[in-house]
Amino acid sequence: MKTLRSTLSILALLSTLPSVAARADSPGAGGDRDATMTSGAETYRHVCQACHMANGKGGVGAAVIPALAGNPKLASPIYPATVVLNGYGAMPWFNGVLTPQQIADVVNYVRTHFGNSYKDTITVDTVKAMAGPPPHPMH
C-alpha cells in the first residue's frame, strides 16, 4: 500500500510539472518567475522538491529519485548544474525554463543544505557558459 501510495503521489507530482515549468517561463512585464523564485531555496521548493523531497532525500516511486542529501556527486558544482541544465534519465531539463541565475542559486542551495556544506559556489556566468545559446528565444 505504501509503495502504491508513493507511486501515485509521484505521478501526481509529475503531472503538475508542465504547469510549474510554464509558470516559470511565462513572459510579461518582468515575468512572474522573478517574483516567485528569487532564491535557491524558493526554486528548490517550487521545482525540485516535488521529486527530491523537502529533506533532499529523494525517494522510490515511479522512478528512483536520488538523494541530494549527503550526495558525494555534488562535490563539484559543475555536475549538478549539468544535470539541471540538460536533464538526466527521468529528470527533465531546465535550460531555458529556469534562468541561469535561478540555476546557479538552486545549485548553490543544494550544495549547502541537506547536510551538504561545500564552500565554493557556481556563478551565473559559469551557468550561462554551460547553457550555451538559449534553446528558444528568451522573452
Among 21, 41, 91, 124, binds ligand HEC (CB under 6 A): 91
Angle formed at CA 75 by CA 103 and CA 132, multiple of 5 degrees: 35
Nearest-approach distance from CB 125 to ligand HEC, in angstroms: 19
Amino acid, res. 62: A
Nearest-approach distance from CB 106 to ligand HEC, in angstroms: 5
Distance, CA of 6 to CA of 61 (rounded, Å)? 6
Q: Does position 108 bind ligand HEC by CB under 6 A?
A: no
Among 33, 37, 56, 84, binds ligand HEC (CB under 6 A): 84
Distance, CA of 60 to CA of 122 (rounded, Å)? 29
Among 30, 89, 132, 137, binds ligand HEC (CB under 6 A): 89
Q: Report how many residues bind ligand HEC under the rule CB under 6 A.
A: 24
| Residue 58 in grid coordinates | 529523494
Tell me which residues in 14-53 interact with ligand HEC (CB under 6 A): 14, 17, 47-48, 50-52
> What are residue 128's phi and psi, to 5 degrees?
-60, -45
Distance, CA of 75 to CA of 45 (rounded, Å)? 22
Q: Does position 92 bind ligand HEC by CB under 6 A?
A: yes
Interface positions with ligand HEC (CB under 6 A): 14, 17, 47-48, 50-52, 63, 65-66, 68, 71, 73, 80, 83-84, 88-92, 94, 106, 110
